[in-house]
């Protein structure tokens, strides 16, 4: 029997599917995370130039990759929502945003924690860090716009349009900031010049990145389930669930 995936475009069907998947993703995240951090903190060799302080890079790089990846996925769902007008697409985008913002925030903090012992400053106007900061603004802007509009449908569509405008701008912004940075840097070194990769370091980074990905999926699925319940609260199937919960 062919699997009809379009069935899952209905919030009710997706709600139960997501509910079954969430625990698996959390487990995967925990396992990969443990493995990655073990490799990162114990197995990978101490760097010749930066000592042990560089180990924060395992988290920093994973968080930075995820922050950009999530924005792309978010923009994708926004585009789908605007073109096909499915409610679930907008909900998925809205569910992804807070996790994406969290990843960006982690990337910024770990970047600062790396910078201090390595270059002596908590913040350097490095191209990647500055772009991460701007990405944080884009996430916050998306969530703020959605929160500020009362009509949920209009909020969905307006925020979706904003996300797409942001998506077009992100490469332009990154290119501009990179250019600006190289012009003004002078002799100082940038954070983008990571220590040359030993295989163990690369493995560690990959594992933590995968862990972050699994976590993001789990967190977003949980959030989208909440959104589904909230928005479909008038429908029978949600009322049934609410009644069951009340009885417990």
Residues of this chain, 133-172, that bind another protein according to CB under 8 A: 134, 137-138, 140-141, 144-145, 148-154, 157-158, 161-162, 164-166, 168-169, 172
Between 145 and 203, CB nearer to another protein: 145
Give the number of residues in contact with another protein, rule: CB under 8 A. 34
- For 168-207, b/e burial (b = at least 16 CB within 10 A) is eebeebbeebbeebeeeeeeeebbeeeeeeeeebebbbbb
Residues of this chain, 218-237, that bind another protein according to CB under 8 A: 231, 233-234
Q: Which of 10, 12, 176, 185 binds another protein (CB under 8 A)?
A: 176
235: left (phi over 0), alpha (psi -120 to 50) or beta: beta
Between 38 and 180, CB nearer to another protein: 180
CA distance 196 to 1: 51
We find the least distance from the C-beta atom of residue 131 to another protein, in angstroms, to be 10
We find the least distance from the C-beta atom of residue 137 to another protein, in angstroms, to be 4
CA distance 12 to 48: 55
CA distance 117 to 198: 21
Q: Which of 166, 163, 140, 13 is nearest to 87 (CA)?
A: 13
Regarding 175 and contact with another protein (CB under 8 A), the answer is yes
CA distance 61 to 66: 9
We find the least distance from the C-beta atom of residue 179 to another protein, in angstroms, to be 7
Interface residue list for another protein (CB under 8 A): 134, 137-138, 140-141, 144-145, 148-154, 157-158, 161-162, 164-166, 168-169, 172-173, 175-177, 179-180, 183, 231, 233-234
């Amino acid at each position: 029997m062919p699997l009809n995936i379009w069935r899952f475009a209905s919030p009710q069907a997706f709600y139960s599917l997501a509910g079954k998947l969430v625990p698996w993703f959390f487990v995967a995240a925990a396992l990969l995370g443990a493995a990655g951090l073990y490799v990162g903190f114990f197995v990978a060799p101490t760097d010749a130039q930066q000592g042990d302080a560089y180990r924060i890079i395992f988290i920093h790089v994973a968080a930075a990759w995820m922050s950009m990846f999530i924005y792309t996925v978010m923009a994708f769902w926004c585009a789908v929502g605007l073109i096909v007008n499915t409610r679930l697409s907008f909900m998925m985008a809205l569910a992804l945003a807070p996790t994406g913002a969290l990843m960006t925030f982690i990337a910024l903090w770990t970047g600062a924690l790396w910078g201090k012992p390595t270059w002596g400053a908590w913040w350097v106007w490095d191209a990647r860090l500055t772009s991460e900061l701007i990405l944080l603004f884009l996430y916050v802007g998306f969530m703020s716009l959605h929160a500020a509009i009362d009509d949920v449908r209009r909020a969905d569509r307006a925020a979706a349009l904003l996300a797409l405008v942001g998506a077009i701008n992100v490469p332009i912004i990154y290119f501009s900031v990179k250019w600006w940075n190289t012009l003004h840097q002078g002799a100082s070194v940038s954070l983008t010049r990571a220590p040359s990769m030993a295989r163990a370091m690369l493995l560690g980074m990959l594992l933590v990145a995968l862990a972050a990905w699994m976590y993001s999926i789990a967190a977003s699925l949980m959030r989208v389930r909440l959104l589904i319940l909230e928005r479909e609260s008038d429908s029978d199937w949600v009322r049934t669930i609410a009644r069951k919960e009340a009885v417990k």
